[in-house]
Amino acid sequence: MYNGALRWGSFLGLRRDRQLPKGEQRMPIRKAVITAAGWGTRFLPAAKSQPKEMIPLVDKPVIQYAVEEAVASGIHQIIIVTAQGKHAIEDYYDRSFELEHYLEQKGELKLLDEVRHVSQMANICYIRQKEQLGLGHAVLTAKDLVGDEPFAVFLPDDLFHSQVPVMKQMLEIYQRYPGNIIATQHVEEEDIEKYGIIEPKKLDERVYQVLNLVEKPRPEEAPSRLGITGRYILMPQIFEALEATPPGKGQEIQLTDGLRLLLQSQAVYAYEFEGIRYDTGTPLGWLKATVAMALQHAQLGPQFKDYLKSIKV
């Protein structure tokens, strides 16, 4: 535990958060930060010369699933934190007049619609993280673009398959539990070291008060089996917390550590989402997600299912 946390919280004069009276609405979440600045080391060599976020999953790049989830949850202002070598992401969300002209000439109107839709679906801006100093630092990079309002964070490696988009589920919880909210899921003991782990106190069906949180602990030190997954709703005070967060696991500024600091002055909740999460940042997770998404695909799904059934190994 960072010793200065308590003093730091009171020094900044942060108020302990409170539950709002029934019917009172929280400030809406208008902005999403999507972190896309990592090297993608778990996906080398594929990610050597293209952003890992642009690796296709069925017929869309991985990052597109996060953008679609944000939009489907009613969030249209998107800040993508990028880094050197990631300009393919900007090109993807930009208009391509030459391509559009070509498709128009060829009469490929459905494709034309799809291509245009990608560049029109959200209001996207970009900021570069100039040094790879960790997830907490990547979120901090978006401070001025977010401003003084609560916001959502999406880690695009984490892809969710759910009836209701996971961020939409979280926004509903946010109405009842105003404060910082982390999406969580149960993780196997052997996977504990891959996740931030929370110490939970159950409040409601699928909702927990977070009493503490630790980034990638050893299994014997983990406070529970509830792992942090890549969706967060954060209050703007997280930025001050991150500014005061020293490097942690892997010598990186960890979002988990920033949240632990924030815990001294604000409520942090965890929500066990309904749905399945895939870690597309690893080849195996990407394969599983590919199969799941391909089976759901309106055109490809039925044929792909028949093909899978026919495979003899």
Query: How far, in Å, CA of 208 to CA of 90, rounded?
Result: 37
- 214: CB partners within 8 A, 6+ apart: 196, 197, 199, 221, 222, 223, 256, 260
Q: Which is nearer to ligand G1P, 89 or 192 (CB)?
A: 192
What residues make contact with ligand G1P under the rule CB under 6 A?
135, 155, 158, 195-196, 215, 227-230, 254-256
Q: Which residue is nearest to ligand G1P (CB)?
A: 196
What is the closest distance, in whole angstroms, from the C-beta atom of residue 60 to ligand G1P in the complex?
20
Whether cis (ω within 30° of 0) applies to the bond prior to 45 is yes
Amino acid at 219: P
What is the closest distance, in whole angstroms, from the C-beta atom of residue 94 to ligand G1P in the complex?
27
Q: Which is nearer to ligand G1P, 256 or 265 (CB)?
A: 256
Q: Which is nearer to ligand G1P, 118 or 156 (CB)?
A: 156
125: left (phi over 0), alpha (psi -120 to 50) or beta: beta
What is the closest distance, in whole angstroms, from the C-beta atom of residue 173 to ligand G1P in the complex?
18
What is the closest distance, in whole angstroms, from the C-beta atom of residue 266 to ligand G1P in the complex?
18
What is the closest distance, in whole angstroms, from the C-beta atom of residue 157 to ligand G1P in the complex?
6
Q: Which is nearer to ligand G1P, 67 or 259 (CB)?
A: 259
Q: Which residues pair with 279 in a beta bridge?
A: 158
Sign of the four-CA dihedral 32, 37, 38, 39: positive
Q: Which is nearer to ligand G1P, 69 or 158 (CB)?
A: 158
